[in-house]
A and B are shown apart, each in its own frame.
Chain A
Amino acid sequence: MEMHVTNLACTRGGLRVLEGVSFRVSPGQALVLRGPNGIGKTTLLRTLAGLQPADAGSVDPGPEAMAYASHADGNKATLTVGENLTFWARLHGMTDIGAALRDFNLETLVERPGGSLSAGQKRRLGLARMAVTGRPIWLFDEPTVSLDTDSVALFAAAITRHLDAGGSAVIATHIDLGLQGEVLQLGPFKAEAPQHADDFHEAFL
């Protein structure tokens, strides 16, 4: 499934941060988002995931094709690794979590409660969740935070496997994961201060 983003504008806290963002991602490709802090990488990813409405422009396909991994992993301390993952799988109508456990090297941790995992292990569990959603387009927001070198390699391998299977990914990261695809610098899309006082969001000026 090819992803088209056309002329997208996003707002954060009532202020437009990005505008005119256009790109396309073909199956088997990964798009890496780059840009200085505060440019709006998270805002863009949240808009793609359908968590906040786009100010302008269009995203095709819609949020139902995307799986989103934010800074927070959304796993429960009192549930085991297996239970956490099974829950997300069943929520998405999937049953098999074996492959995801294998890909992120979690097999030995299945019975451990989420609360007893290290930061890196929690992160791996959070990323493994993407594999059980069955969705073609994966959105990652700084996925490699608190991962060691081995885990980063594991993560890159899992993404590559997903891409090879015809999926695609949009990743906000500063690390070179060696993936097939392009890099998009968000700097040029930074929203200008509006020129017209009648502009909707600046109507107060």
Chain B
Amino acid sequence: MSERLTRPTSLWEYANPRRFMALSGFLLPWVAIGTAATLLIGLVWGFFFTPDDYRQGSTVKIIYVHVPSAMIAINCWLMMLITSLVWLIRRHHVSALAAKAAAPIGATMTVIALLTGAIWGQPMWGTWWAWDPRLTSFLILFLFYLGYMALWAAVENPDTAAELTSVLCIVGSVFAVLSRYALVFWNQGLHQGASLSLDKEENVSDVFYWPLLLCIAGFVGFFILLILIRTRTEVRARRLQALIARERMA
């Protein structure tokens, strides 16, 4: 670690574990500060300085946790798909470890989205749970995360585990999309339309819009922060394994 690193000539060089550790170590405090500030402002603004909805009352404020966590839950899988592809094609170890690090975060975000949704749904729809396509697809997404994490945990050789989980992630992605359409076909639900979209007509009203955007930015920052910390842990664990293996060989 003490040797000087040469200047990188390509973005891919950050996939080198040592370079990744150096860069992520430098970024970590800044991401942490930025995330804390954004989340704090967004949540305080959203919870205390926006009016209650005329129909939904103060329960509407759960949107500031529900929508961001749901977005992270889906995009986390997307990130795992991309890092899995990068590992399979370019064989960068950090990429595989980032996918491994992301899965529990995605699973947790899925649970948060499901729980906040249930808490929101109870006063609004009069039920904690309905087999609505959106709710159901999150439940199934959670099952995908569970299977993915279980496969990582079950395979001993880390490189084999990385490859098998990457294959599962790619195949799983196809089936996840398929399941989504199957569920829409299966039951037209009662979940409201998208909270945020480019189509202005469907959007939440402006009072909620900006604090929600801040909260989403905060959650994204939080997600990146957790990914960095967890990937650094995984890299250190692998380094430890490599040291032990080298010891045994000598």
Q: Indicate whether A and B are direct neighbours in the complex (CB within 8 Å).
A: yes
Contact A203–B18 (Cβ < 8 Å): yes
B192 within 8 A of partner (CB): no
Q: How far is A15 from B250 in the complex, measured between Cα atoms in Å?
A: 12
Q: Which single member of B3, B17, B157, B249 contacts A203 (CB below 8 Å)? A: B17
What is the size category of the interface that chain B forms with chain A?
Answer: 10 to 19
Report the minimal beta-carbon distance from A183 to chain B, rounded to whole angstroms: 25
B16 within 8 A of partner (CB): yes
Within 8 A of B (CB), among A184-200: 191, 193, 197-198
Within 8 A of A (CB), among B192-246: 235, 238-239, 241-243, 245-246
Report the minimal beta-carbon distance from A14 to chain B, rounded to whole angstroms: 5
B159 within 8 A of partner (CB): yes
Report the minimal beta-carbon distance from A39 to chain B, rounded to whole angstroms: 12
Contact A202–B157 (Cβ < 8 Å): no
Within 8 A of B (CB), among A1-27: 13-15
Residues of B within 8 A of A72 (CB): none
Residues of A within 8 A of B159 (CB): 14
B93 within 8 A of partner (CB): yes
- How many chain A residues have a CB neighbour from B under 8 Å? 11
Contact A203–B246 (Cβ < 8 Å): no
Contact B157–A205 (Cβ < 8 Å): no
Within 8 A of A (CB), among B2-36: 3, 16-18
With most chain B CB atoms within 10 A of its CB, the pick from A191, A193, A197, A203 is A203
Q: Which single member of B3, B238, B250 contacts A204 (CB below 8 Å)? A: B238
Contact B239–A205 (Cβ < 8 Å): yes
Residues of B within 8 A of A197 (CB): 3, 18
B147 within 8 A of partner (CB): no
Give A198's nearest chain B residue, CB to CB: B16
Contact A204–B17 (Cβ < 8 Å): yes
With most chain B CB atoms within 10 A of its CB, the pick from A191, A198, A202, A204 is A204
With contacts A193-B250, A204-B239, A205-B239 taken as known, whether A15 is within 8 angstroms of B3 at the C-beta atoms is: no
Residues of A within 8 A of B243 (CB): 205
Contact A204–B249 (Cβ < 8 Å): no
Q: How far is A13 from B155 in the complex, measured between Cα atoms in Å?
A: 12
Contact B242–A202 (Cβ < 8 Å): yes
B158 within 8 A of partner (CB): yes
Report the minimal beta-carbon distance from B249 to chain A, rounded to whole angstroms: 6
Residues of B within 8 A of A (CB): 3, 16-18, 93, 157-159, 235, 238-239, 241-243, 245-246, 249-250
Closest CB pairs A-B (n = 8): A204-B239, A204-B242, A204-B238, A14-B159, A203-B17, A204-B17, A15-B245, A205-B242
Given A203-B17, A204-B93, A204-B238, 10 more pairs with CB closer than 8 A: A14-B159, A15-B249, A193-B246, A193-B250, A197-B18, A198-B16, A202-B246, A204-B241, A204-B242, A205-B246
Query: What are 27 contact pairs spanning A and B, CB under 8 A?
Result: A13-B157, A14-B158, A14-B159, A15-B249, A191-B249, A193-B246, A193-B249, A193-B250, A197-B3, A197-B18, A198-B16, A202-B242, A202-B246, A203-B16, A203-B17, A203-B18, A203-B93, A204-B17, A204-B93, A204-B235, A204-B238, A204-B239, A204-B241, A204-B242, A205-B239, A205-B243, A205-B246
